[in-house]
Amino acid sequence: MKSIQKFFAPKRFLVFFLIFNTVIATLIPTLLYRVLPLDTIEAVIWGQRFTMGNYKHPPLSGWIAHHFSAFFGHADFAMYFLSQICVAVSYYFIYKLAREFFSERKSVLASIVLGITFFYSFDSAKFNVNILHLALWPVTTYCFIRTIKENLLRQWILLGVLAALCLWSKLSGGILLLMLTIWMFADRQARSRFSGAGPYVTAILSFALFVPYLIWLFRTDFLPLTYASERAHAESSPFYFPVEIFFGLLAPLAAPLAAILVAGGKEAFFRFFRQKWQINHRAAFLFAGFFLFFPILFFTGLSFFVPRIDLMWGYPIYFASGILFLSFYEDEFWTEKRFTHLALIVIAVILAFQIGDVIYFCVKTRQSGHFPAQECADKAVVYYQQKTGNAISTVCGNMWFACIISHYQKSRPLVCIQEDPLDIMRYRPKIEKEGAMFVAANQQEIQDIARQMEIEITDITPVYFRYQAPHGKVSEKRLFFAILRPRQAAVKE
C-alpha cells in the first residue's frame, strides 16, 4: 500500500508519466511506420537548406528537425522522439504554470489530463510547427507569469527571446503574443511593470530578433501569407462555417472535462457548477479562461472572412484548459484517491489511443503509414544511375515523394519542391546546368514542371509500388520517374 502511495506521489508520478508517454509514443510509430509523415519529412528537408524561410512557414521548425535528425543519423526514430520531447516540455511547463495557482497535486492533474486529448497523444507523432508550438506556448506563458511577478531584467530578456522563437516557428505565434500584450494592460500587477524598463526590453529584443525574417518576408512578397491566403480561399464554405469552427474548437475540451468529472464522482459534478472559488482559484479561472477562449473566439471570428480554417491550427491553444477546469475545485478536493483515479484514467486512455493506432495500422492499408519509402529511394537511385550514369544531386517534383527520395538516401540530395516558387527560382540555374531527377504523382505534375522550368523532360517512366497493412488490402501507387536534362546536354542533342 505504501509503495502504491509513493508511486502516486504527485512529483514522482509526473516524472513517471513523462517517461512513460515519451517512450511509448516514440517506440510505437518507430516500430510500425515505414515512412515519416509528410509534415515531418518536409520539415527535415527544409532545415537541410538552412534558409531564412519557405513558402509555408518560418524556418525554426525545419532547423530543429534537420539537426536533430542528423544527430541520430537521420533515423526515423529521431523525429518521433523529437515530437515527444516537445510534448513532454509542454506537460512540464503546464505543471509549472499551474503551480502558480494550485497545490502540487492539482497542478500535476492540470498537466497530465491533457494526455487524453487527440493532439497530445494519438496525433503527436508527426513533428511539425504545431507540435513545436505545443511546447513554446506554455513555456512562453510560464516565463511571462514569472517575469511579471519577479520583474528581473534577465527574465524580460528571456521573454523577448521566447516571443521571437514563437514567431520564428509559426506566424500564428502572434496570437499568443497578442494575448500576453492584452494581459499586460488588463492585469493590475502586470500593468505596473510599464513603469520599469522590462516590457520595453522584451518588445525591442523580440522585434530585433524577428527583423531578419521580416526582411525575408518583404523580399519574397510575403509568400507564406500568400500561400495561407490561397489555401484558405481555395474552396467555399457553408454559411454555418463559423458555428462549425466554434464547436470544433470546443470539442477537444470534452474529454479532459469528462475525465475530471468521472474521477471526482458526483461531488465533482456539483462543485463544478456551484463552487465558490477562493481568490487564488478565481485568478486561475480568469487567467486560464482568457488564454483558452481568446484564440477560440479569434479563429471563430476569422472564419467569417476566411472560408477555410484547419482545426489543427488550434493545437497549442488548449494548454490552459486543465487549469481552467480544476479552478472550480479547492485544492483539498483532490485527495490521494481522486488523484489516483484521474491518473489511471489518463494512463488508460493513452494506452487505448496507442493500442487503437496499432490495430488501425494492422487492418487499414494507408499510404501515410505503409508506403515503402526506402524502396522508393532505392529505385530512384538505380533509375537515375542507369539513365545518366551519375548519382542524384537534385531531386525535383511532388513534395512528399521528392522528400522521400532525398531523405532515405545516404547522399541526401537537394530537393526542389515543385509547389514552392522559391525552390523553382533557387534551384533552376543548378538544374539547367546539371540536370535533376524528377518524380511526379500524376501526369499533370509533369506538365506543370515542364511549364515552370522550361526544360526538356525525358525518359518518363511509370514505377509501381505495392504496400499492404499486415491484415489489410494490397494497395498500389504509381509514380512517374523522369530526367530533367541539363540545357547544355539538350542543346548538344
pLDDT tens per residue, range 155-186? 999 999 999 999 999 999 999 999 999 999 99
Radius of gyration over every alpha carbon of the chain, rounded to an integer in angstroms: 25
* CA pair distance 370, 341, nearest whole angstrom: 37
| Strand-pair category, 474-484 with 436-440 | antiparallel
At 73-108, the pLDDT tens digits run: 999 999 999 999 999 999 999 999 999 999 999 999
Contacts of 454 (CB under 8 A, 6+ apart): none
Provide the total of helices (H) and of strands (E) in the chain, helices listed first. Answer: 23, 5
The DSSP output letter for 416 is: E
- What cell was used for 9? 506521489
- Structure-model confidence comparison of residues 244 and 278, the more confident one: 244
* CA pair distance 326, 283, nearest whole angstrom: 12
| pLDDT at 7 exceeding the cut of 90 | no
* CA pair distance 39, 41, nearest whole angstrom: 6
pTM: 0.93
| pLDDT at 491 exceeding the cut of 50 | no
Instruction: Look at residues 202, 83, 76 and name the one whose alpha carbon lies nearest to residue 146.
Output: 202
